[in-house]
């Protein structure tokens, strides 16, 4: 039996187990034979793939013929696409604006630090300011906005207040003014806050924008 015939029998799976084992042993040692088998395998892979592709093409043709197949290739009209993009953008802006104007503002709770006044230890005076600050914060939580505003105004009257507490009181005061229907005052305090170079009191970016929108654009809202 010729070598090629042997290879054929091997790749077609026609060898019995003994013959196959012997051939595989030979394959392991004979590099040239291995290359021939490999080349035959690759050729058969091409043959098989081409056969599969032909079957697929025949099926595809049947599929296209069998069904009254008309692909709706109506191109999207550019003006329609533009209009769609415009309205999507507009809807997103409105949704964002609504969120900013209606969502409640959450300010960072004031730190529990009794050194309100720079460089001095706690005294009766400073502790009363601190108490006012906390009372204001509590009043805000209880929706007593006028009471909260009064307390924060009192806090801000104190001299040499640390920046952190001054700014905390100012942000809370803005919120109190905004809810007690005093947008003009809220805007004044807001302007003072934006004039300051360094922000000691941390306020979240989103919360800050909520306050801006609520005070400047929708100050008339309850």
Q: How far is the CB of 8 from other proteins (least distance, A)?
A: 8
Residue 201, exposed/middle/buried by CB under 10 A (0-12, 13-18, 19+)? buried
Residue 53 interacts with other proteins (CB under 8 A): yes or no: yes
* Residue 53 vs 196, nearer CB to other proteins: 53
Pick one of 43, 93, 96, 188: the residue that binds other proteins (CB under 8 A).
43
Using CB under 8 A, count the residues that bind other proteins: 34
Q: Check: CB of residue 102 under 8 Å from CB of residue 211.
A: no
Region of 65-73, 166-174, 179-187, 193-201 interacting with other proteins (CB under 8 A): 65-73
Residues 143-182, one symbol each (x = binds other proteins by CB under 8 A, - = not), give: ----------------------------------------
Residue 77 interacts with other proteins (CB under 8 A): yes or no: no
Pick one of 22, 26, 54, 122: the residue that binds other proteins (CB under 8 A).
54
Q: How far is the CB of 47 from other proteins (least distance, A)?
A: 6
* CA pseudo-torsion sign 42, 45, 47, 53: negative
* Residue 70 vs 159, nearer CB to other proteins: 70
Residue 12 interacts with other proteins (CB under 8 A): yes or no: yes
Q: Check: CB of residue 201 under 8 Å from CB of residue 148.
A: no
Look up residue 104 and give its DSSP letter. P
Pick one of 28, 34, 55, 206: the residue that binds other proteins (CB under 8 A).
55
CA angle 128, 141, 106 (to 5 degrees): 110
CA angle 128, 131, 132 (to 5 degrees): 90
Q: How far is the CB of 90 from other proteins (least distance, A)?
A: 23
52-56: long-range contacts, CB 8 A cutoff, minimum separation 24:
none
Number of H helices, E strands in the chain: 9, 0
Region of 35-43, 97-105, 143-151, 186-194 interacting with other proteins (CB under 8 A): 35-43
- Which structure tokens are listed for 19? 């013959």
First to last CA, the chain: 100
By CB under 8 A, name the binding residues for other proteins: 4-5, 11-12, 39-40, 42-60, 63-64, 70-76
């Amino acid at each position: 039996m010729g070598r090629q015939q042997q290879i054929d029998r091997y790749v077609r799976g026609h060898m019995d187990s003994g013959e196959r084992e012997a051939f595989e042993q030979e394959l392991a040692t004979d590099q040239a034979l291995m290359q021939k088998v490999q080349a035959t395998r690759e050729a058969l892979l091409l043959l098989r793939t081409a056969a599969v592709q032909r079957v697929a093409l025949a099926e595809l043709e049947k599929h296209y013929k069998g069904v009254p197949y008309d692909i709706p290739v109506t191109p999207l009209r550019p003006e329609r696409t533009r209009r769609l993009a415009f309205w999507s953008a507009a809807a997103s802006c409105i949704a964002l604006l609504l969120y900013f104007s209606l969502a409640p503002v959450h300010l960072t709770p004031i730190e529990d630090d009794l050194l309100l006044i720079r460089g001095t230890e706690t005294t009766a005076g400073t502790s009363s300011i601190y108490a006012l600050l906390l009372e204001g914060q509590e009043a805000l939580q209880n929706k007593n906005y006028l009471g909260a505003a009064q307390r924060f105004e009192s806090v801000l009257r104190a001299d040499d207040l640390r920046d952190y507490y001054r700014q905390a009181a100012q942000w809370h005061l803005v919120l109190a003014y905004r809810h007690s229907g005093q947008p003009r005052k809220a805007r004044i305090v807001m302007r003072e806050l934006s004039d300051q170079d360094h922000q000691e009191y941390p306020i979240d970016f989103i919360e800050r924008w909520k306050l801006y929108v609520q005070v400047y654009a929708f100050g008339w809202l309850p």
